[in-house]
Structure 1
Amino acid sequence: MRKNKSESEGEAFMSKKEIGRRAFMKSSLAGVGSFFFLPPNGGELGLRAQTEKPDGKKIVRRVLGKTGIKLPPINMGVMNSDNPNLVRAALSGGMVMLDTAQTYQRGTNEAMIGEVLKGRPRDSFVLATKSRLPHDQKTGIYLSEATEEAYAKKIDTSLKNLGLDYVDIYYHHNVWAKESALYEPILNALMKAKKAGKTRFIGITTHRNEPEIIHAAAESKVYDVVLTTYNFKQKHYPEVRSAMTKAADAGLGIVVMKALGGRQLQEGSREPIDPKAALKWALQDPNTHTIIAGFTTFDQMNLDLSVMEDPVLTKPEKAHLQRGALMAGLYCQGCGQCLSQCSQALPIPDLMRAYMYVYGYRNIVAAQDLVTSLELPLKVCEGCDSCPVSCAIGFRVRDRIRKVVRLREVPLEFIA
């Protein structure tokens, strides 16, 4: 039987992933060596400029690659927040960039931010948003309905929601297959939007298979910015760091997300990850041009602002991170080893991310939205006498899936 193009691409992608998994497993054995901490760059950690806050305190800024945008080291990821006053406080406190997406807060986040930005000088903030099109949940490869016209409509919808004539960065969102990173219909839509003045710059975001996607972004000559996961819990952080360095050398701006690595050192532990230490770890890399932090309270915001003023890791913070890096925690590595083992072909990395949203970030809305978007079978993890999936870092995959898929049964109005 002749295979269609999508099936052939999917098999080729999975073959490449097998090679990537072996590399991942090899790197995970390296442990926490001297490469875990980078030496400060002349005591300035690669800082490019300084500005003063209203209270006279200094805020350092870094340049977002060839875009030339100068940003403080931490900015606001608005995914988890529906409080416009918190967004206003972040901007007043010295943050400049707001990161959102068309689907955040069940499609209301862009509009909320648009209300906050009304009346503000357009050069006083940087706005980034994102979207993606239908794709195969297992391979990440786009489906036939993922057309240039469909993506162009996504861009226009974001502008309408935000009430803006243009955004500063429009991201091609949540990509983990190289083929999708270079998918011409979406690239064409983004390039036309940039030419039309609807976005100043083009970006791509990735939660897993980050090194390959970052390299693809640099090679494409289309993308200006990469938004990637990068944290001390990643077993493959050396590969991510190397890819970030090459991309930055090529002129791309590097924005980091998921810097806290799941918030909890270990599942069931009462000891949280020290957020200041985790943020500082990512900022020790001069190629981390900025971090988007998903705070939801004023206390969390103030903590992030304090890191902006003093990003140097202390000895106790280093010890905390070294110990935490050896624990499985809640952060899924996204290695993909589990995908070929599951008899139901479940999108396990996405389900593990949803689990982290619930038990790490306490964001039930985001977790439910993710779970319901995955087109899971009616009965999940019920046909196997024992789970054949063996997680590379020891997650009890079946238990986590069973817990998180229960969110499908909870009415939306009970959570929203």
Structure 2
Amino acid sequence: MRYKTLGNSGLQVSEIGFGCMSLGTDYATNRTLLYSALDQGITFFDTADLYQRGANETTVGKAFKGHRKDVVLATKVGNVWRPDGSGWDWAPTKAYVLQAVEESLKRLETEYIDLYQLHGGTLDDPLDELIEAFELLKQQGRIRAYGISSIRPNVVREYVERANLASVMMQYSLLDRRPEESCLSLLQEHQIGVLARGSFAQGLLVGKASKEYLSYPKEVVDSAAAAVRRVAQANARTAVEVAARFVLHHPAVSSAILGIRTEEQLAEAVALAEAPPLTAQEMQLLQQALPPNTYEQHR
């Protein structure tokens, strides 16, 4: 397993991160899987207070209670469940962040959160107020670093300009190269780590039935998946390895956050972590398989 420093935070994160949202509801199974991931070198675990109405944080916290110093725990804030359970609402206020962090700390059974992330965001939010909340939590030692989870370039630029971000989590894959247009270079320039999610494009790059994706028609999706297969077959790689290594090839990316729910998926993640980076020729074959897409909104 390779490890990288997350932006300017000093946090060392495994190149493959464990996306805990994919965990099921059986605690014993989850605990075994989380321990197995840690034993095999994955140290970065990402959750959110939104997942399973907080139960996901509880699972992760309970599992790692005796191994706190061995893991980097990331969680997210900003969405609040409605009392009737019908959905959630966006609550981008300083007061809510300061309230919600206490609940996350309890569920995670820890005195501090390594990376606390705003779970979304728009230009209509009180950005300065939210930044004040995160900076206060850093000063108090409740969190070690903070970031945002956003695919909106205009929001990312505002936070880069105003805040001391450690990271930005964003969707990035061969079928979603929108971050390449401006975000990745901007974040790299400011030493802000990128946490990539959606590396497999809903599984379309690794064997799931083809369909339209973002602005791409089915035929282009097929072309991308075929390119991944060709590179994999020609170089004794797996499709999972090729798709994830495409994302990790960009120097701005600190970690690829993969949804892991089974031992088989964990084994694939660990195997790709040990695999060599893609060559320049392999990258060229993938990039030429389809035209890169760009952001149509939130520019």
Query: Which range, TM-score by smaller chain?
Result: 0.7 to 0.9
Contact 2:6 / 2:166 at 8 angstroms: preserved in 1? Answer: no
Is contact 1:283–1:311 with CA below 8 Å preserved after alignment?
A: no
Q: Aligned to 1:99, which of 31, 46, 62?
A: 46
Counterpart residue type for residue 214 of structure 1: V
Distance between the aligned counterparts of 2:292 and 2:253, measured in 1? 24
Instruction: Compute the displacement of 1:109 (Å).
Output: 0.3
Is 1:162 aligned to residue 108 of structure 2? yes
Q: Pick from 287, 291, 307: which aligns with 2:272?
A: 307
SS of 1:231's partner is: coil
* Distance of aligned partners of 1:312 and 1:84 in 2 relative to their CA distance in 1, 3 Å threshold: same
What CA distance in whole angstroms lies between the structure 1 residues aligned with 2:147 and 2:177? 25
Shift of 1:100: 0.2
Q: Distance in 1 between matches of 2:248 and 2:169?
A: 14
One-letter amino acid matched to 2:197: M
1:214-229 mapped onto 2 (5 Å cutoff): 214-229=156-171
Q: Partner amino acid for 1:299?
A: E
- Give the C-alpha shift of residue 317 in structure 1: 8.2
Q: How much has 1:322 moved relative to structure 2?
A: 5.0
Aligned to 1:264: 204
1:309 is matched by which residue type in structure 2? E
- The secondary structure found in structure 2 opposite 1:171 is strand
What TM-score do the two structures reach when normalised by structure 2?
0.77
Question: Does residue 178 of structure 1 match 2:123?
Answer: yes
Residue 199 of structure 1 corresponds to which residue in structure 2? 143
- Summarize the Cα distance change of 1:321–1:294 in structure 2 as closer, same or farther, 3 Å threshold: farther
Contact residue 199 and residue 247 of structure 2 kept, 8 A? yes
Contact 1:263–1:275 (CA under 8 A) maintained in structure 2: no
Amino acid aligned to 1:190: F
Greater Cα radius of gyration, structure 1 or 2: 1
In the alignment, the residues of structure 2 paired with residue 258 and residue 160 of structure 1 have an alpha-carbon distance, to the nearest angstrom, of: 29
Q: Deviations over 1:345-375 (max 9, x none)?
A: xxxxxxxxxxxxxxxxxxxxxxxxxxxxxxx
Superposed CA offset, 1:236-289 (max 9, x none): 2431xx3222222212222111111221252299x8773221100011111111
AA aligned to 2:48 is A
Superposition CA RMSD, Å: 2.9
The equivalent residue for 2:66 is: 119
Q: Secondary structure at the match of 1:278?
A: helix
Contact 1:214 1:244 in 2 (8 A): no
1:156 deviation in Å? 0.7
The one-letter code of the counterpart of 1:149 is: A
Q: Indicate the structure with greater strand content.
A: 2
In the TM superposition, structure 1's runs of 4+ consecutive aligned residues that sit over 6 Å from their partners are 314-318
Local SS of the residue matching 1:159: helix
The Cα shift of 1:148 comes to 2.0
Partners of 1:151 and 1:236 lie apart in 2 by 29
Q: Trace 1:3-402 onto structure 2 (pairs within 5 A).
A: 59-82=1-24, 83-120=30-67, 122-133=68-79, 146-175=92-121, 177-180=122-125, 183-206=127-150, 208-209=151-152, 211-234=153-176, 236-239=178-181, 242-265=182-205, 266-267=210-211, 274-313=239-278, 319=285, 322-323=288-289, 325=290, 335-336=296-297
Identity %: 25
Q: 1:254 to 1:326 in 2, by over 3 A?
A: closer
Cα distance, 1:107–1:283 mapped onto 2, change above 3 Å: same
Structure-2 separation of matches of 1:103 and 1:76:
17
TM score, norm. by length of structure 1? 0.56
**1:227 alignment partner, SS class:** strand
Q: Write the distance in 2 (CA, Å) between the matches of 1:183 and 1:93.
A: 39
- Give the paired residue count: 259
Q: 1:98, CA displacement in angstroms?
A: 0.5
What stretches of structure 1 of length at least 5 have no aligned partner?
A: 1-58, 135-141, 338-416
